Amino acid sequence: METMVALVVLLAVSAVVMSGMMQMMKTEGTITNRTEMHTSVRSATELLEQEIGQAGKLSLPTTPAGTAWAMVQPLGVPLVAFGGKPDVPITLLATFNVLDTTPAGAQVPVLFEGEWITVDTGLNKEAVQLICPAGPGLCPNPSNAWNATFAYTHTPIAIPGTATVGVPISVPGAFSTGIIPPAAGVMPAPPAGYAGYPVWPVNAPGQGSSGTVLKLYGDVNGDGHMVYVEYTCVPGTPANPGFLYRNQVNFWNLPVVPPLDPSMIVLTGVLPNPNSPAGAAVPCFNYQLQTREGALAAQRDMAFVTDVAVTLTVQTSNPDPQVPLINGQPNYQTETKALLNVSPRNVYNAYEFATLDYLNRVQPTPMIIKSSTLPNYQ
C-alpha cells in the first residue's frame, strides 16, 4: 500500500514537473520566434538608415596608381591661347584623364552632364559646370570630354606624386535628388506646383519613389563608386507573407534595373502596416519634400527629400508555440517597426546650399538615371 501511495505521489509530481517543462519550452519557443523576428527587422532597418543617410553623396573613385583626377588641356597651354583673356569667360572642350576601373578591367568615365566640378587650386580655383557638346540632354552616357565655361586661366602642371600633367579637379556638394523625389500622387499634400518626378528629359512623373519603392543613389557604400539602389516593399498575407527587396546596380554601365529575384531579399514575413488612427493606410515609405523653383522644381532638380519615414510590419516564421491556432488559423506573432525621421544628410546639405543660393554645390541628377534607369524600371 505504501509503495502504491508513493508511486501515485511520484506520478503527480512528475506530471507537474513535465507540465512546467512543456510550458517553459513553449515560452522559450515564443521568445525565440520574437527574437529572430526582431533581429531580422532591426538588421533591415539599420541597413535602410545607413543607406538613406548616405544617399546623395558624391565621390570620385580612387585613382589608379600614378594618376590623379585632372583636366587635360590640348597642348598643355593656358586658356588665353584659345582666343580669350584671363577675365573673360571661355568655353573649352576639356578632357579628363581618369576613368572608373570598377569592375576590374573596365574603363568607365564617371563625370556627367550638368555636374559641377572644382578646377585648380589657389587664386585660380573656380567651379564650372559640365556641358554636353552635342546639346542639352544628348549625353545620357558618361563621357570624358565636356564643354565648360571658365573665368580664369588654368595652366597644366605636373601633379606631385603622380605621372599626370594637368589641372587638379575635385567635386563639391551633393546630389539634390539622392533620394529620388516622389512620383505623382504619392504625397497627399505635395508642395505647390510639384507634379511628380522626373519630368525632363523624359516625361515620366510616375517613376519617382513611391510608398512601396524607395529609390536612392550616390556613393551609398562609401567606396567611391556611384550606385543606384531600389528598396521594394511587397507586403503579403499571414498565409503568404511578402518581402523587402534591395536591388543595386552600377548606374554607369547598367542603366536598366533587373527584375526582382530571391537573392535580393533583405527581409521576409512582410505584412501590410496597420492603419493610422484616422483609418488611412500606412505605406512602407513616406517622404518629406522641400522644393525650390516652384512648378519647375522637378525639371530643374530642385526637389529635395529631406526626411524619409520607414514603417515595416513583419510576422514570425513559425506560429506561436503557446497558442498555435486561433479560430483554426496559425497564430503568428507580429511586430511593426517605424523609423519616422531618417534624414539623408547629404541631400539635406544640398537643400541648405540651395536656400543660400550656393547652386554650384547642388549637383543635378545624372542624365543616365533620368533618361534610362527610372523610365525602364521593371
32 confidence band (pLDDT: 50, 70, 90)? low
Q: Taking 80 as the threshold, does the pLDDT of residue 79 lie above it?
A: no
pLDDT for 88: 64
Distances (CA, A) of 345 to 114, 176, 308, 349, 351: 22, 11, 11, 6, 10
pLDDT for 23: 63
Asked if residue 331 is part of any domain, the answer here is yes
Q: Taking 80 as the threshold, does the pLDDT of residue 349 lie above it?
A: yes
User: For residues 156 and 86, which has the higher predicted lDDT (pLDDT)?
Assistant: 156
Q: Taking 80 as the threshold, does the pLDDT of residue 77 lie above it?
A: no
pTM as predicted: 0.86
Q: Taking 90 as the threshold, does the pLDDT of residue 69 lie above it?
A: no
pLDDT for 31: 65
Of 170, 189, 206, the one marking the end of a domain is: 170
Asked if residue 11 is part of any domain, the answer here is no
Of 135, 153, 170, the one marking the end of a domain is: 170
Asked if residue 84 is part of any domain, the answer here is yes
75 confidence band (pLDDT: 50, 70, 90)? very low
pLDDT for 272: 96
User: For residues 349 and 153, which has the higher predicted lDDT (pLDDT)?
Assistant: 349
Rounded Cα gap, residues 25 and 104, in angstroms = 52
Q: β-strands 329-330, 325-326: how paired?
A: antiparallel
Least confident of 96-110, 128-142, 217-231: 96-110
Q: Taking 70 as the threshold, does the pLDDT of residue 87 lie above it?
A: no
Distances (CA, A) of 39 to 1, 45, 191, 356: 56, 10, 37, 42
8-state DSSP, 343: -
The range of the structural domain enclosing residue 255 comes to 33-57+175-373
Report DSSP letters for 172-224, one per residue. -SEETTSBPPBPTTSSSSPPTT---S--SSS--TTSSB-SSEEEEEESTTSSS
Asked if residue 64 is part of any domain, the answer here is no
98 confidence band (pLDDT: 50, 70, 90)? low
Rounded Cα gap, residues 373 and 368, in angstroms = 7
pLDDT for 378: 46
Rounded Cα gap, residues 213 and 42, in angstroms = 19
**Range picked from 15-29, 102-116, 325-339 for highest mean pLDDT:** 325-339
User: 55 CB contacts (<8 Å, ≥6 apart)?
Assistant: 175, 178, 179, 216, 217, 218, 220, 344, 346, 347
Do 99 and 242 sit in the same domain of this protein?
no
Do 48 and 83 sit in the same domain of this protein?
no
Do 215 and 311 sit in the same domain of this protein?
yes
Do 41 and 145 sit in the same domain of this protein?
no
Do 239 and 275 sit in the same domain of this protein?
yes
Yes or no: say if 159 and 262 are a contact pair by the CB < 8 Å rule. Answer: no
Q: Taking 60 as the threshold, does the pLDDT of residue 327 lie above it?
A: yes
Yes or no: say if 144 and 115 are a contact pair by the CB < 8 Å rule. Answer: no
pLDDT for 1: 81
Considering only CA atoms, which of 303, 282, 299 is closest in space to residue 351? Answer: 303
Yes or no: say if 169 and 96 are a contact pair by the CB < 8 Å rule. Answer: yes
Region 29-48: mean pLDDT is 81
Do 245 and 184 sit in the same domain of this protein?
yes
Q: What is the mean pLDDT of the chain?
A: 84
pLDDT for 332: 83
User: For residues 169 and 181, which has the higher predicted lDDT (pLDDT)?
Assistant: 181
Asked if residue 147 is part of any domain, the answer here is yes
Domains: count for the chain: 2
Which percentage of the chain shows pLDDT scores above 70?
83
Do 237 and 123 sit in the same domain of this protein?
no
Least confident of 46-60, 179-193, 237-251, 319-333: 319-333
Do 142 and 268 sit in the same domain of this protein?
no
Q: Taking 50 as the threshold, does the pLDDT of residue 54 lie above it?
A: yes
Counting Cα atoms < 13 Å in the Cβ hemisphere of 260 gives: 16
pLDDT for 148: 86
- Maximum C-alpha span of the chain: 122
Asked if residue 16 is part of any domain, the answer here is no
Do 179 and 150 sit in the same domain of this protein?
no
pLDDT for 34: 74
Region 24-33: mean pLDDT is 64
Do 186 and 145 sit in the same domain of this protein?
no
74 confidence band (pLDDT: 50, 70, 90)? very low
Residue 268's beta-bridge partner residues? Answer: 243
User: 261 CB contacts (<8 Å, ≥6 apart)?
Assistant: none
Distances (CA, A) of 298 to 32, 113, 227: 47, 17, 21
Do 43 and 133 sit in the same domain of this protein?
no
pLDDT for 80: 57
Region 321-347: mean pLDDT is 82
Least confident of 84-88, 178-182, 272-276: 84-88
Burial 98-109 (b: 16+ CB within 10 A, else e): bbbebeeeeebb
Asked if residue 303 is part of any domain, the answer here is yes
Of 122, 148, 170, the one marking the end of a domain is: 170
Do 244 and 352 sit in the same domain of this protein?
yes
Give the other-Cβ count within 10 Å of 22's Cβ.
11
Q: Taking 60 as the threshold, does the pLDDT of residue 106 lie above it?
A: no
Asked if residue 62 is part of any domain, the answer here is no
Q: Taking 90 as the threshold, does the pLDDT of residue 16 lie above it?
A: no
